[in-house]
Every structure is written in structure tokens, then in C-alpha cells.
């Protein structure tokens, strides 16, 4: 997650009734939640996250040898799972960084002749803040939660769609570099997509989902009131998957991750989901943000619970997720 040290003052609290309304609407919906037989494997989640947050990658700072290893790892994963490059290769070179740096971008074309012209973007940033400059016992900022956890979730979703071929809309899977430098990877990519007249339906960005919250919902969404995405996700899963977190509104997190770059250009539903609630994780931008403190069972359950939601997003006959007035 882009550094929180520059957080703006508290601006507003959405009323508690917002969360209740979302959950009540989901409960009252007559549509039966989609049942997914596909099972996310805990061992796959663990193995993927363990390597991406390992010391070998030296904290994955953009422009370093460490993030280059991560890029190769992600390219190999997409190729192995038959997700095609969106550009000529999986690498999308940043236009706004002084040394070579790359987003990793794959695509699965939709199966419907018309709906495949619309795109869902599933994304997370694979960069982190690298090595500590001061001498100490541990100098690697591994970034397991921030945001190797989100990358793991998106990778598992890519594997799911590749194996099930259950998407009528096309899906772009994006692993951003440069997020910690000021959302540079997403700012660079979104301009290229705009120039292609990219037909965006919605973006779901996944940010810091490595540990659970002690709340009556699984995750929160940034910019809760900007669209009906929270409402629709809860309807699609049939659960209290998304809730309203007051701290998200206080710290204006909607503007602080890669979803904002896409919203700023396309003005479509582009939001991030997270389980980092400022109470459940003490190692933000800290060398102790390591694999060993991640809750793999929670992450696996999180991904599994979101599969009906992303599947419905990719298959609804109409654009059900819309901006609020």
C-alpha cells in the first residue's frame, strides 16, 4: 500500500446504516448465490506467497534486481496457467520511471461475442519498499502483506478462470510496479489503455489481505459509497463479504492505491478490497511484514469467497456494477 504517512485529515464518516443497508439488500435478494465447485488449495497459496515475500527478492523495490526476479516469477506463472500476454510480452514498461521497470499484464479473452469487448481488471501491486538503509539484523522489507498477499489472490483468480473458462467478459490480470513510488505503474498503464479506447467495466484491486479482521464482515472496500460494488459483491456471494470501515473513509484510502489511477481516467467502478483495518497488523512498511505472520487459511478462504463475486462480475448480462450519483 502506498505510504500512509501523508494521510489527509478526517473528512467524513458514512453513517452506520450504509453497512446495514448493503447487508440487508444482499439478504433480501431473491437471486441465489452462485455455487463454485472449484477449490482454492491452501498449499498453492502458501507456496506462491512464500516465494514472492522471500529474502531472495530483497523487498521488491521498483527498479532493482529483486523485483526483476519477481517479474520473471509472475511471467512464468501466467504462462504456465495459459494466460496470454496483453501486449507483445507480459511486460508493460513504465513510462514514468527513470530506470527500466515493468507492470506484468495478462489477459483471458471472454467467451461471449459481445461481452468479451468489455473488460474486468483484477489487480494488485507486486512492488514493495526494498532494503533498509541502516545496519540492523534484518534489512529486508519482505512485503508479505503489502502486497504479496494481494498478488497471490489475483494469481489464484487467474488460475481459476484459466481452468474453468468461466468468463464471458475479458479479464485483464495486472501486477503493478511503482505503486510505492506514487502509483506509477497504474498511472502509466491506464494512459496506454485509454489511448486504445479500452472498454472498462470495473476494476477490483486487492490490497493487503494477509490477516483477518475481527468484524462481522470479511473485508472492506475503498470508496464504499462511490458505487454499488459492495452491494453487488454481497449479493453475488450471499454473505457479509464487504462492510464499511470508517477508517477507510477517514484516511481516504480510495485515493491511495492503484484503483484510483483507473477511476481517475475511466470514471468507472474501480475500487480496492482489503482486510488491513489499522488494528490487526503492526508491521506496515516494516521488516517484520514476513511470510511467517501471514494467515494462509484466511487468505485461502478470502480467495474462495470472492470467486462467486468475480465470476458474476465477468458474466452478468448487463453492467450491474455502476457508479452512484
Residue pLDDT, tens place only, 199-239: 999 999 999 999 999 999 999 999 999 999 999 999 999 99
Position 4 confidence tier, pLDDT thresholds 50, 70, 90: low
Between CA 173 and CA 281 the distance in angstroms is 27
DSSP structure string for 187-228: HHHHHHHHHTT--EEEEEEE---SS--SSSSSEEETTGGGBS
Residue 142, SS3 per DSSP:
coil
**Alpha-carbon gap, residue 309 to 161, rounded angstroms:** 13
- In terms of DSSP bridges, do strands 119-125 and 102-108 run parallel, antiparallel, or are they unpaired? unpaired
The mean predicted confidence, pLDDT, of the chain is 92
Terminal-residue alpha carbon distance, the chain:
28
Q: What is the grid cell recorded at 101? A: 521497470
Residue range 56-71: average pLDDT? Answer: 98
Scanning the structure block, which residue is given the C-alpha cell 505472520? 293
CB 1 within 8 A of CB 257: yes
Residue 42 binned pLDDT confidence (cut-offs 50, 70, 90) = very high
Please say if the pLDDT value at position 56 is more than 70.
Answer: yes
Q: Which residues contact 15 (CB under 8 A, 6 or more apart)?
A: none
Domains assigned to the chain: 37-214+258-315 (3.40.630.10)
Average pLDDT, stretch 96-105? 98
180 class by beta-carbon count within 10 Å (0-12 exposed, 13-18 middle, 19+ buried): buried
Residue 28 has pLDDT above 50, yes or no: no
Instruction: Tell me if 280 sits within 8 A of 209, measured CB to CB.
Output: no
Q: Is the pLDDT of residue 62 over 50?
A: yes
The pLDDT value recorded for residue 29 is 45
Q: How confident is the model at residue 1 (pLDDT cuts 50, 70, 90)?
A: low
Mean pLDDT of 279-300: 97
- Using CA atoms, how far residue 27 sits from 54, 236, 306, in Å, is 41, 11, 17
Query: Other C-beta atoms within 10 Å of 264: how many?
Result: 14
Q: Which bin fits 48, alpha (ψ -120 to 50), beta or left (φ > 0)? A: alpha
20 pLDDT above the threshold of 70: no
Amino acid at each position: 500500500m502506498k505510504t500512509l504517512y501523508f494521510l489527509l485529515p478526517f473528512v467524513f464518516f458514512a453513517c452506520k446504516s450504509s453497512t446495514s443497508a448493503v447487508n440487508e439488500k444482499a439478504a433480501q435478494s431473491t437471486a441465489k448465490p452462485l455455487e463454485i465447485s472449484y477449490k482454492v488449495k491452501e498449499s498453492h497459496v502458501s507456496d506462491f506467497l512464500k516465494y514472492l515475500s522471500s529474502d531472495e527478492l530483497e523487498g521488491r523495490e521498483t527498479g532493482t534486481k529483486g523485483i526483476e526476479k519477481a517479474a520473471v516469477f509472475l511471467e512464468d506463472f501466467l504462462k504456465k496457467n495459459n494466460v496470454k500476454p496483453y501486449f507483445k510480452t507480459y511486460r508493460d514498461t513504465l513510462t514514468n520511471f527513470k530506470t527500466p521497470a515493468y507492470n506484468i499484464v495478462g489477459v483471458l479473452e471472454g467467451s461471449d461475442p459481445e461481452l468479451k469487448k468489455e473488460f474486468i481488471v483484477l489487480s494488485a501491486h507486486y512492488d514493495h519498499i526494498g532494503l533498509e538503509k541502516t545496519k540492523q539484523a534484518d534489512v529486508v522489507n519482505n512485503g508479505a502483506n503489502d502486497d504479496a498477499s494481494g498478488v497471490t489472490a489475483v494469481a489464484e483468480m487467474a488460475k481459476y478462470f484459466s481452468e474453468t473458462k468461466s468468463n464471458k467478459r475479458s479479464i485483464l490480470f495486472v501486477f503493478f510496479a511503482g505503486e510505492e513510488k506514487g502509483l506509477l505503474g497504474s498511472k502509466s498503464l491506464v494512459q496506454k489503455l485509454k489511448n486504445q479506447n479500452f472498454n472498462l467495466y470495473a476494476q477490483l484491486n486487492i490490497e493487503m489481505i494477509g490477516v483477518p479482521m475481527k468484524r462481522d464482515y470479511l473485508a472492506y472496500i475503498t470508496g464504499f459509497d462511490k458505487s454499488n460494488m459492495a452491494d453487488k459483491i454481497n449479493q453475488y456471494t450471499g454473505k457479509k463479504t464487504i462492510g464499511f470501515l470508517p477508517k477507510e473513509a477517514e484516511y481516504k484510502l480510495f485515493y491511495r492505491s492503484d484503483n484510483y489511477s483507473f477511476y481517475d481516467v475511466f470514471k468507472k467502478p474501480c475500487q480496492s478490497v482489503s482486510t488491513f483495518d489499522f488494528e490487526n497488523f503492526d508491521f506496515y512498511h516494516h521488516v517484520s511484514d514476513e511470510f511467517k505472520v501471514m494467515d494462509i487459511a484466511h487468505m485461502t478462504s478470502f480467495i474462495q469467497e470472492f470467486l462467486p463475486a468475480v465470476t458474476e462480475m465477468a458474466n452478468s448480462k448487463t453492467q450491474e456494477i455502476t457508479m452512484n450519483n
